[in-house]
Structures are given as C-alpha cells and as structure tokens.
Amino acid sequence: MWIHHIGEIMIAVLGLLILAHFGLHFYFKYVKRKKEKNKEGSKKESS
C-alpha cells in the first residue's frame, strides 16, 4: 500500500515544492529585470 511509502512520497512532494518555489522566484526576477531594462532603454547596468 502507498501508506508504507509515505516518507518517500513526502520527500518527493517537498522536493517538487522547493523546485517550484525557486523556479518561480528566478522567473519573476528575470521578468522584473527585463521590464526594468525595457523601461530604461538601452542603458547598460552593471550587476
């Protein structure tokens, strides 16, 4: 039964949640940077 593998299932779920969190974080960071770059025009910024 699946209840015997609850530990493995929870590890997989937590791993997916962590990956989703970092994925969304970097995606929104990228989108925000892209918008700022478009707003400022062709001005180069050092990061």
pLDDT tens track for 1-47: 878 999 999 999 999 999 999 999 999 999 988 888 887 765 555 54
Helix (H) / strand (E) element for 16: namely: helix 6-40
In sequence order, which residues have a C-beta less than 8 Å from that of residue 2 and are 6 or more positions away? 9
pTM, whole model, 2 decimals?
0.55
**What confidence score (pLDDT) does residue 23 get?**
94
**What confidence score (pLDDT) does residue 2 get?**
73
